[in-house]
Amino acid sequence: MSGTMYHVSDRRIQTWSLEAHLVDHCNLRCANCCTLSPFLPKKAMPVEILARDLERAARALRPHVFKLTGGEPLLHPDIVSCLELAKAAAISEAIQVTTNGFLLRRAPPAFWELIDRLTLSLYSSAPLPSREVEWIRKTCEESRVLLTIKDVERFAVMDVRTRWKSEAERAALYDACWLKVRCHLLYEGFFYKCTRPPHLAQIRRDEGGAADDGVDLEGPDLAGRILSYLEDPEPLGTCWDCCGASGGFEEHVQSAR
């Protein structure tokens, strides 16, 4: 492909989406959770870190939608402040929360005023009672929030049992992986092409974290550095330990504690 696959306008790169993980942990334990929440310790994103990252990222990126997710984002002790920051940063026209729905009743009125979209994932292995789904539908309607309901009966397998054995395998996997375009992540001072690097680094206990697989939000020419990174055809180091979109599917189940 010649030229860039990303459009740059007003020195900001237009992208499909950008997400922030408000917490690493979750109230469910889905096997094959793509953010590895069942394996991660309880951790909430400090509001001041999110504010700093958003302020920097908004100078270089213009995602179609900004997603607050996790883990389960409703577990964040101050989700309203996180939403206020996302609005104030004006990083995107659409602010979305992605949730399993179990904790939505505890969301204060300001939550419903601040979000534009809600994506509700309904898992076959942990069914949300239908009265709750109806309440969520009604509340979204009253709050003029665009609701998307995803029925999930199977999950993509992303974790590898053993590392890929050859460069060719890793390169083919990376080429076929759509997540590198659709699942960009803002996490603790870095921008990543996908959600896997910081969480896998944590599980592997890599001392340097996932810095080599992301872009430091601090420093000059952030838009230029992110654009070069997004267009780099080289796979990430993390791709050694990930199936991307090539791992097939398994039935959705909750894993044992």
- Which range in 3-11, 41-49, 70-78, 127-135 contacts ligand SF4 by CB under 6 A? 70-78
- Which range in 31-39, 109-117, 131-139, 214-222 contacts ligand SF4 by CB under 6 A? 31-39
Which one among 12, 13, 19, 38 touches ligand SF4, defined by CB under 6 A? Answer: 38
236 lines the binding site for ligand SF4 (CB under 6 A): yes
Which one among 12, 45, 67, 71 touches ligand SF4, defined by CB under 6 A? Answer: 71
Radius of gyration of the chain (CA): 18
| Closest to ligand SF4 by CB, 20 or 236 | 236
Contacts of ligand SF4 in 149-188 (CB under 6 A):
173-174, 177, 179-180
At 68, list the tokens.
């607050």
- Which range in 12-20, 135-143, 190-198, 224-232 contacts ligand SF4 by CB under 6 A? 190-198
| Closest to ligand SF4 by CB, 63 or 70 | 70
| Closest to ligand SF4 by CB, 47 or 157 | 157
# of chain residues touching ligand SF4 (CB under 6 A): 25
Task: For tokens 């838009």, name the residue.
Answer: 223
145 lines the binding site for ligand SF4 (CB under 6 A): no
